[in-house]
Amino acid sequence: MLKQEKFVELSALRIFTVVADSETLTQAAEKLGITQSAVSQALKQLETQMNVELVVRRSRPLKLTASGRVMRRYARSLLEDHQRMHAAVGMASEQGLAKLRLGLIDSFADAAGQQILEQLMPFAEQLTLRTGLVGPLKEALLERDIDMLLTSDPMQDHPELEMLPILRDPFVALVAEKHLPQCGESVIQLAANLPFISYNRQLRLGGLTQLIARRLGIELPIRYELDSTTTLLRFVQNGHGWAFAPATCLMQNPMLLQGVRILPVEPGSHARYICLLARKGEFGDLPRQIARICRDIYSQQLVPQLPVAAPWLAEQAYPIEELPAL
């Protein structure tokens, strides 16, 4: 019969996997929201139970021993199995999941967050919506702080995730109407005559903006670099320059479009693609059901809200089930 001390607690394994992906115990404690002392105690407990050292204590950043690397592989597998068990048991019950934690990028959450939560109410007793920037939400999904994520980054370098395309979100050019007589209505003319108002280049939207400029062969004379769509629209409305923005962002603040001209980004067709990410095999058919709900919300509720001043947008904004070939 095994001794009791050989049974490892899942909570200790969870702490160890975060330690394994951190540079210091302090950083691991911050990620977990607990004290460094609690992290050290959990790590020591595991080492005592397994009778091995798991971490090279003197190393900065932290390094795992050979035993620690083996432990990390098994710990991740056990935690994934535990999550799959909970999801499968919950989905098999009449009540569905006890809890569903959904991540949603800010630019889409403002337009559709409420509608999505209302449609998902029958699937779980408790729904949690976490919004924010792409980077922190990606980390939250990989660290199991959220269950699924609606994002513009398909994360195709993570084969443990299933990716379900949701929608095509076209980019537009925005400029105050007062600038049009002198600066023209094409992106080429705007770039030559006005300062550019950019999303922060460290953000995914900023990176996509730079990609559009390269495809068009234009230089962007950046004067302002912002991380908020609301601020970006205000700067455009007040005549400080012109900008690129995805169409879903136009639904957030229609008052900020007064006096602003919405122009197609020509030549070519430029868009971002929003998809649903979930860990493979953990939620049965639920990710596909949620994907269908999101596509319906987009086509039936959001697309009709696109500005009437840009009727051509309706032909470029639509739900998708496959990503286009890049």
pLDDT at 78 over 60: yes
Task: Say whether 161 sits in a helix, a strand or coil.
Answer: strand
Output the CATH code of domain 169-271.
3.40.190.10
pLDDT at 268 over 60: yes
pLDDT at 8 over 50: yes
pLDDT at 94 over 50: no
Domain range 87-165+274-319, its CATH number among 3.40.640.10, 3.40.190.10, 3.30.420.40, 3.30.565.10: 3.40.190.10
Give the integer Cα–Cα distance in Å for 191 and 187.
6
Least reliable range by pLDDT among 10-19, 209-218, 309-318: 10-19
> Model confidence over 133-181: pLDDT tens digits?
898 999 999 988 999 999 999 998 888 899 999 999 999 999 999 999 9
Domain segments of the chain: what residues? 7-84, 87-165+274-319, 169-271
Count how many residues are written for the chain.
Answer: 326
User: How crowded is residue 151: how many other Cβ atoms within 10 Å of its Cβ?
Assistant: 24
Task: Say whether 14 sits in a helix, a strand or coil.
Answer: helix
Give the residue among 90, 154, 87, 149 at the shortest CA–CA distance from 294.
149
Give the integer Cα–Cα distance in Å for 41 and 43.
5
Q: Which residue has the higher pLDDT, 245 or 31?
A: 245
Question: Is 143 buried (19+), middle (13-18) or exposed (0-12) by CB count in 10 A?
Answer: middle
Give the integer Cα–Cα distance in Å for 174 and 240.
11
Give the residue among 167, 250, 239, 162 at the shortest CA–CA distance from 197.
239
User: H-helix or E-strand containing 189?
Assistant: helix 187-193
Architecture of domain 7-84: Orthogonal Bundle (1.10)
Non-local CB neighbours of 213 within 8 Å, separated by 6+ positions: 191, 219, 220
Percentage of the chain beyond pLDDT 90 is: 44
pLDDT at 3 over 50: no
Long-range contacts at 70-76 (CB < 8 A, ≥ 24 apart):
71/16, 71/46, 72/16, 72/17, 72/20, 75/13, 75/14, 75/16, 75/17, 75/20, 76/17
Non-local CB neighbours of 116 within 8 Å, separated by 6+ positions: 102, 104, 129, 150, 293, 294, 297
Non-local CB neighbours of 290 within 8 Å, separated by 6+ positions: 102, 120, 123, 148, 276
> Model confidence over 222-233: pLDDT tens digits?
999 998 889 999
Give the integer Cα–Cα distance in Å for 122 and 97.
9
**For the whole model, what pTM was predicted?**
0.71
Residue 241 C-alpha from the chain's centroid:
28
**Which residues sit opposite 225 in a β-bridge?**
198
Per-residue pLDDT band for 251 (boundaries 50, 70, 90) equals: confident
DSSP states of 276-291: EEEETTSSTTHHHHHH
**pLDDT score recorded for residue 326:** 61
Question: Is 175 buried (19+), middle (13-18) or exposed (0-12) by CB count in 10 A?
Answer: buried
User: How crowded is residue 7: how many other Cβ atoms within 10 Å of its Cβ?
Assistant: 8
pLDDT at 96 over 70: no
Mean per-residue pLDDT, 282-309: 90
CA angle 25, 30, 36 (to 5 degrees): 45
Highest mean pLDDT among 162-176, 248-262, 296-310: 162-176
Give the integer Cα–Cα distance in Å for 174 and 242.
6
Same fold, 87-165+274-319 and 169-271: yes
